[in-house]
């Protein structure tokens, strides 16, 4: 049996063959089946995966969903803060350059004679 036909067979049956590993895609499909309400013990038997491992995959997927939903893309406050930080950086560099220029133009202090 070729490697491709083994893979096709394993995907049809659900269980892995030999030293194959669970891909993220296959884990996702299993977790989706769990979330749709398929019994945990039935999936465990069908796939040959321990119940605790299936529960870990489900919990990890749910925490990933939570984190993805917390992400604030396009937050106006964040973009304003970034713009303000850039402006502060530009002003700080300008002040530093002006101070250097001032120090270069300042005449050297003259010597006083004590005579």
Residues of the domain holding 47: 3-70
Say how many domains are in the chain: 2
Lowest mean pLDDT among 8-22, 63-77, 89-103: 8-22
Q: Does the model's pTM come out above 0.75? A: no
Angle formed at CA 7 by CA 5 and CA 11, multiple of 5 degrees: 115
In a domain, 42, yes or no: yes
pLDDT in tens, 11-27: 444 677 667 788 999 99
In a domain, 49, yes or no: yes
In a domain, 111, yes or no: no
Does the pLDDT of residue 109 top 90, yes or no?
A: no
Residues 25 and 62 in one domain: yes
Of 71, 67, 44, nearest to 56 by C-alpha is 44
Residues 13 and 66 in one domain: yes
Residues 50 and 78 in one domain: no
Q: Tell me the pLDDT band of 65, cut-offs 50, 70 and 90.
A: confident
Residues 66 and 10 in one domain: yes
Residues 7 and 41 in one domain: yes
In a domain, 114, yes or no: no
CA dihedral in degrees (58, 64, 67, 71; nearest 10)?
-140
Residues 38 and 15 in one domain: yes
In a domain, 14, yes or no: yes
Residues 88 and 55 in one domain: no
């Amino acid at each position: 049996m070729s490697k491709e036909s083994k893979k096709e067979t394993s995907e049809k049956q659900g269980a892995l063959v030999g030293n194959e590993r669970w891909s993220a895609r296959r884990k996702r499909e299993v977790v989706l089946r769990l979330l749709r309400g398929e019994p945990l013990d039935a999936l465990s038997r069908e796939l040959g995966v321990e119940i605790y491992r299936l529960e870990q995959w489900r919990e990890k997927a749910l925490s990933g969903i939570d984190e993805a939903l917390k992400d604030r893309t396009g937050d106006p406050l964040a973009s304003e803060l970034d713009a303000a930080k850039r402006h502060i950086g530009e002003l700080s560099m300008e002040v530093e350059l002006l101070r250097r220029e001032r120090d270069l133009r300042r005449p050297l202090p003259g010597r006083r004679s004590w005579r």
